Structure 1
Amino acid sequence: MKFTDGHWLLRDGVKAFHPAEAYRITSDSDSLTVLAPVRRIERKGDATMGPVVTVRCSSPVPDVIAVEITHLEGVRPRGPEIELHSPETPAVDVSVDDRAAVLTSGSLSVRFTRGDAWRMDFLADGRVLTGSGAKAMAVIEADGHPYVREQLDLGVGQHVYGLGERFGPLVRNGQSVDIWNADGGTSSEQAYKNVPFYLTDAGYGVFVHHSGKVSYEVASEATSRVQFSVAGQSLRYFVVHGPTPKDILRRYTALTGRPARLPAWSYGLWLSTSFVTDYDEGTVSSFIDGMAERNIPLSVFHFDCFWMREYQWCDFAWDERAFPDPPGMLKRLKDRGLKICLWINPYISQHSPLFAEGRENGYLLRRPNGDVWQWDLWQPGLAIVDFTNPAACSWFAEKLDALLDMGVDCFKTDFGERIPLDVVYFDGSDPERMHNHYAHLYNQVVFDLLERRRGRGEAVLFARAASAGTQSFPVHWSGDGEATFEGMAQSLRGGLSLGLSGFGYWSHDIGGFIGLPDAAVFKRWIAFGLLSSHSRLHGGGSYRVPWAFDEESVDVLRDFSRLKMRLMPYLGRIAEEAHTEGLPMMRPMILEFPDDPSCAYLDTQYMLGDSLLVAPVFSADGHVRYYVPEGRWTSLLSGQSITGPRWVDEQHGFDSLPLLVRPGTVLPTGAVEDRPDYDHAAGVVLRVYSLPETTRVKTRIVAPGGELSAAFTVERAGGRLHVTADRPIADWAVLLVGESVPSSIEGATPEHVAEGVLLRALPNALTITVDG
């Protein structure tokens, strides 16, 4: 929200009051409180005039400092609040003297300068990261409504990222962003997943602890500052120190929650019936048969909207006209090794048998006059479940529980963004604060049920709406994208932005959702989709089976699906990093290469984990331009090497794309290519890429469920390569990519392959002389 009219003036109807000095400072063992009048106190009579701003600083965890700005303190608390996790009590140092007051947590400090001018700075290791100076912090009256605003300095060449899933340019500088969930598709400034957290490449991030609308002006209204404001009398935010972007994400997700561990089967290919298509058991069987006949591995089958009868969404009852025997059908599908997902949403049509039940028991949102809140958008006469009512949560979960008994494995939790303000919640929550947070409660109810029934590590959603903390209930997908190359790029930008907002897993509709993609778009999107965290074929009004496009689509889907299955030993490890560290599986280049200025703006390529560079092709003719950071990189698909840093122009057929292995990588690839849930260590091949002298790399193979399945150490020194396994493993091998035949090998017989030298039948240890 903009308050100013240029640098000097305020907009009509706006009054702003800024702290003028740190007048009175009080402290205790774990906090610092500053009384900041909005005018200099020259004489006692000046203290009779207001306003006065109170600024209190504390620390919930090391290297994170909380700042609470308050004008009037008599306002009734308004919930809900975003849940915070504080696993430890940090040792905080507080010092106050005539020149400054300082609170330090870990290596991060906040310093208030005492004297003639207001100044609050955040420092790490003696360096100022950012700060709030003259006319930055403010209490504001705009058109008769109170707001609190903060502006933090942004230095020259510094970039801002995050604020949830945003489909425009990855760098937020110059943008105005409102944290307000909306169902606007991927081609607009609106977003399904809004998160009041931004990350910078200047060593810190900032999280506004507010569940409602937060308005950001990122180097826009004030071009050298990041501004954020909320309605009301107080504003609380956290400054999160890094120093690296990865460190910032680790600390932010430790505070707000980390993604749950997901089952291995969820990383396989999901096939959907699509959104509003006609289908029955025969249609479903024909899709599954077609995939099997074409040797395309399939893990999950998803039933979208019309598994239920029209006008009755959601009643959680199968449409008996199309599915006369749901338990029998589900058993037949599961006997083929498939998991089952069902589409749901939190809306109850008045034509659903559940509407009267929800109305009579108070399970639905109501208007202030007591009427059930209803409208005709999306479903005629729909109502919305009130997830602040524990009984409503149990009621909703019971309906899903019956489906789990039938054989369903997971749910697509669609919608949850268009949550009205003219409602009354069971627990008295403020509607404005609940608008974004509703998605969190909705997904939590479903995810908690799946964990209770399936166990931790087996629960998985396919969710669209989210807010801060909802990363704990994965997976999330990008929503309604256009079936074009532009739509494909929009989806990628949204996913990368979401990853920098604390979400570890992410997916999208392969081929796009809105409209029918042509075969070229579909095939290019397949490669991108199978090199994403999770992969789903889904569309709006048309089926997304590959043979509906052309035969080459079948080949492309088969090849990239099988490639992803072979990559599971590597994907399992980076998925575990998402769960334990809060690092996204799909990473913007800036996350892996924060010191390379060429990576700051890159949003059409990404790192899949720390070792694989992926540059999707956004053209029918196969032309792609992408950036390669420093070092000798190797194409995983062709074996050709590319030395960076430089920009590369290439042409790729539909069966290819730039997929480069980072130099110094030991990439484990699996022996199974028709399913993701296998023993990732048995038969594993360690692909060694450009390992420099005096290098030691430890490669971990993480089994489904997070247990360490195997660990290998690869060390190169003195012209010799030594490889050891932590335990006996069946049929593992080492592939020296791009290497000539070693001069001596102890423990294996070399086999020449196209990419280099393959060493099979290994014992627990292997020594190779590679030089001289």
Structure 2
Amino acid sequence: MQVTIGGLHVDVMQVGPEIFRFDVKPGAETASGSMQEGPISFSGSDGGFAIRGPGGNVWECRLSKLDAFGRAAAPGLHLSWRSWDGEAIYGLGERFDSLDQAGKVVDMWIEDAPGQGDASRQSYYVTPVLYSTRGYAFFAADNPEGAFDLNARGGGVNRYRRAGQSMTFHVAFGDSLKDLVRKRESVQGPHRGIPDWAWGPWISRNSFENQAEAEEAINGMVQRNLPVAAIVQEAWKGRSETGDFNNFSSERWPDLPRFFELCGQHDIRNVLWQVPVIHPSSPEFAIGRDRGFFVKKPDGSISFRQNWLKDFANVDFTNPDAVKYWQDLIRPTVKLGIWGFKADDGEDIKPDDVFFDGRRGWEMHNEYSTLYNRALTELLEQEGVDGLLWARSGSLGNERYPALWAGDQYARWEQMASLLPAGLSSGMSGMPFWGHDIGGYLEQPSPELYIRWVQLGALSPLMQYHGVLRREPWEFGPEAEAAYALMVRIRMNLAPTLIALGHETERTGLPIMRPMVLEFPDDPRFVSEDTQYMLGPDLLVAPVLEEGAAGRRVEFPAGVWIHALRGTAYRGPAGIEVPIGLVDAPLFVRGGAILRLQLKDSATLGEWRANDPVRDMQFGQTAP
């Protein structure tokens, strides 16, 4: 169906089972008359579209132009559709304030905001992707500056306003949230998986200031029989003035062969901090300047950064030659034996910046980090590295360049709690390979907070401790060391299950860390539940999120749920107060589930050695 209305040309078509595409662009001012083509109808009298889905479900919308929208006051579009009483809405990127975004205003503008800024509303990862409990999903094909008003003003209307007067978006209907996620994957997938080694525990600090500090951390873990899959280096770079910004500093790292030999002995991968910038003092800067490889201002001069990394220039990743220029600066270091990058930054694009491909900053602000992540991923591929990224920012398309970490939290209880909705919404939005800084990035956690964060982190999709200050477990006392040892070994027990869940994500788009409502859509308790979650279909994780608590109320779904360590069985559906100690695990297994574990026949969860066999273990089905 092709329609003109209010200066817009709208082409609507069915592109798959219960999937419909809208292509919108500027058009004639004349208005089309009413028409209908199968399940798609248009009303010439009020300018509304209606899509009929299964079971009488109808999605109705209206489209109009905006004279100006956003920071650049660019001409824009306004899409509105009905909001239903009791409707819950999930997705829209990494949302730290809650899983259910109904009733909120959600900006589509990546921001570097430690602690998530104002009331946890800012985000490093934003996507115009949402799922409704009314049985529909919406996903746009690009992500310029925009904002969703999800009936925040009342009146029963959801709104999406955005810069630019061309847009492609899809609307899908489904019998369940899982069905909707799979349909989004069929249009905007596939997801790239991650290597098996990445499921193990990572260690990090801001920063291991030199080779001696990094070796100290590795040796401390090894001496305590604590597994390490990867170490993240943040203070590895040399000085820009000598052309060594993408080379190891010979002053800080005087004997790289010895360091890499130590890592090799213990099967530890090195992941390097990276940023998408070049400083004018670098010898290679002149080449990039003369060949137009940096993001520019409207007057054609280089748009130097004004905030963090002030006076650096952002590489223009819309220019293929600039991408190769930048990759070639990093390539010699990759050849040393690097397995990935911590892709920091990516948010400092101004609304009026100008790019090689003609786009402006308001169009590119969100996408820039995705292109940056793509350049690093492709570099690893070119060098034959089975690696991955640990990216801070992302947008649409970033599911092809995993993984994502949650940015910079403070070492506070409420900040740890905010990670649950963040991880759940990230997974629903397209970034299921996700993790966070155990212990928080800023400030210093108490031993109790550190332990509870370890319990959450070990049962997140990816596990890493990191902070400005030391985060090694022994820094927080014997009980914290014991708690870390238990949880990291449980994680290694679960590694075969996590790997299998990762492969399921590649096939289906289903997240690893799942909202309760995704697995139990018929239980009304779980519509807005974001303090506990499922790790795949059979593992229920209920972290302790309050200071001084000796346990928590766990909302068990129907069936039997077995505490992973004690074997205590709980029968749902019920909310039950459950003791969860500090040297303990907030983990429950669905009764009757068969888990693939790395665990000796005679061992129990929490016992692990690197050479233990992989086997299937069935959990019981009895409860009082």
**TM-score for both structures, normalised by structure 2:** 0.92
Task: Return the offset for 1:268.
Answer: 0.5
Q: Determine whether 1:554 maps to 2:486.
A: no
Does the aligned pair in 2 maintain the 1:481–1:490 contact within 8 Å? no
Does the aligned pair in 2 maintain the 1:170–1:603 contact within 8 Å? yes
2:114 aligns to what?
Answer: 185
Does the aligned pair in 2 maintain the 1:268–1:565 contact within 8 Å? yes
Aligned ranges for residues 436-447 of structure 1 at < 5 Å? 436-447=366-377
Does the aligned pair in 2 maintain the 1:485–1:619 contact within 8 Å? yes
Whichever residue aligns with residue 317 of structure 2, its letter is: F
Change (3 A) 1:396 1:202: same
List per-residue Cα deviations over 1:80-111 (Å, max 9, x = no partner): xxxxxxxxxxxxxxxxxx985134xxxxx333
* 373-382 or 401-410, which deviates more: 373-382
User: In the comparison of the two structures, how many residue pairs are matched?
Assistant: 610
- Partner Cα separation in structure 1 for residue 208 and residue 203 of structure 2: 15
Change (3 A) 1:222 1:583: same
Which of 601, 607, 618 aligns to 1:687? It is: 618
Could you say what secondary structure the match of 1:527 adopts? helix
Task: Return the offset for 1:606.
Answer: 0.6
Q: Determine whether 1:137 maps to 2:137.
A: no
2:146 aligns to what?
Answer: 214
Q: Determine whether 1:226 maps to 2:153.
A: no
Aligned ranges for residues 485-496 of structure 1 at < 5 Å? 485-496=413-424
- Partner Cα separation in structure 1 for residue 111 and residue 345 of structure 2: 9
Which of 347, 350, 371 aligns to 2:301? It is: 371
Which of 9, 13, 17 aligns to 1:62? It is: 17
Change (3 A) 1:546 1:156: same
Which of 271, 277, 284 aligns to 1:347? It is: 277
1:102 aligns to what?
Answer: 37
Change (3 A) 1:738 1:310: farther
Does the aligned pair in 2 maintain the 1:265–1:677 contact within 8 Å? no
2:553 aligns to what?
Answer: 625
1:252 aligns to what?
Answer: 184
Q: Determine whether 1:318 maps to 2:248.
A: yes
Change (3 A) 1:336 1:210: closer
Change (3 A) 1:305 1:416: farther
- Partner Cα separation in structure 1 for residue 188 and residue 611 of structure 2: 33
Whichever residue aligns with residue 553 of structure 1, its letter is: A
- Partner Cα separation in structure 2 for residue 677 and residue 358 of structure 1: 50
Task: Return the offset for 1:123.
Answer: 2.0
Change (3 A) 1:145 1:369: closer
Whichever residue aligns with residue 647 of structure 1, its letter is: G
Give the share of equivalent positions with the same residue, in percent.
30
Task: Return the offset for 1:520.
Answer: 0.9
- Partner Cα separation in structure 2 for residue 405 and residue 676 of structure 1: 33
- Partner Cα separation in structure 1 for residue 160 and residue 461 of structure 2: 32
Give 1 or 2: higher helix fraction: 2
Which of 502, 510, 513 aligns to 1:586? It is: 513
Give structure 2 stretches of 5+ with no counterpart: none
Which of 214, 235, 240 aligns to 2:172? It is: 240
Does the aligned pair in 2 maintain the 1:330–1:408 contact within 8 Å? no
- Partner Cα separation in structure 1 for residue 303 and residue 64 of structure 2: 37
Change (3 A) 1:465 1:99: closer
Change (3 A) 1:360 1:450: same
Runs of 4+ with >6 A deviation: 310-314, 672-680
Aligned ranges for residues 34-433 of structure 1 at < 5 Å? 34-36=3-5, 51=6, 53-72=8-27, 101-103=36-38, 109-113=39-43, 117-132=46-61, 136-141=62-67, 146-188=75-117, 189-272=121-204, 274-275=205-206, 277=207, 279-309=209-239, 315-433=245-363
Change (3 A) 1:368 1:120: closer
- Partner Cα separation in structure 2 for residue 504 and residue 454 of structure 1: 24
Could you say what secondary structure the match of 1:321 adopts? coil
1:636 aligns to what?
Answer: 564
Could you say what secondary structure the match of 2:284 adopts? helix
- Partner Cα separation in structure 2 for residue 460 and residue 674 of structure 1: 27
1:653 aligns to what?
Answer: 581
Does the aligned pair in 1 maintain the 2:341–2:389 contact within 8 Å? yes
2:2 aligns to what?
Answer: 33
- Partner Cα separation in structure 2 for residue 313 and residue 579 of structure 1: 39
1:701 aligns to what?
Answer: none
Task: Return the offset for 1:158.
Answer: 1.5
Q: Determine whether 1:606 maps to 2:533.
A: yes
Whichever residue aligns with residue 320 of structure 1, its letter is: S
Task: Return the offset for 1:390.
Answer: 1.1
- Partner Cα separation in structure 2 for residue 399 and residue 676 of structure 1: 41
List per-residue Cα deviations over 1:383-406 (Å, max 9, x = no partner): 111111111111211222211211
Task: Return the offset for 1:223.
Answer: 3.9
Change (3 A) 1:311 1:58: farther
Does the aligned pair in 2 maintain the 1:181–1:417 contact within 8 Å? yes
Task: Return the offset for 1:584.
Answer: 0.9
Larger RCO (CA within 8 A; separation ≥ 6): 2
Whichever residue aligns with residue 509 of structure 2, its letter is: G
- Partner Cα separation in structure 2 for residue 319 and residue 560 of structure 1: 35
List per-residue Cα deviations over 1:553-596 (Å, max 9, x = no partner): 11111111111111122212111111111111101111111111
Give structure 1 stretches of 5+ with no counterpart: 1-31, 37-50, 75-97, 104-108, 691-736, 740-772
Which of 382, 398, 404 aligns to 1:470? It is: 398
Whichever residue aligns with residue 612 of structure 1, its letter is: L
Does the aligned pair in 1 maintain the 2:450–2:480 contact within 8 Å? yes
Whichever residue aligns with residue 12 of structure 2, its letter is: C
1:516 aligns to what?
Answer: 444
1:21 aligns to what?
Answer: none
Could you say what secondary structure the match of 1:161 adopts? strand
Whichever residue aligns with residue 315 of structure 1, its letter is: F
Aligned ranges for residues 502-581 of structure 1 at < 5 Å? 502-540=430-468, 542-581=469-508
Whichever residue aligns with residue 684 of structure 1, its letter is: R
Task: Return the offset for 1:70.
Answer: 4.1
- Partner Cα separation in structure 2 for residue 151 and residue 677 of structure 1: 56
Could you say what secondary structure the match of 2:10 adopts? strand
The two structures, once aligned, show a CA RMSD in angstroms of 2.6
Could you say what secondary structure the match of 1:226 adopts? strand
1:7 aligns to what?
Answer: none
Does the aligned pair in 2 maintain the 1:265–1:675 contact within 8 Å? no
Task: Return the offset for 1:117.
Answer: 4.8
Does the aligned pair in 2 maintain the 1:314–1:346 contact within 8 Å? no
Whichever residue aligns with residue 56 of structure 2, its letter is: R
Whichever residue aligns with residue 287 of structure 2, its letter is: E
- Partner Cα separation in structure 2 for residue 243 and residue 519 of structure 1: 45
1:449 aligns to what?
Answer: 379
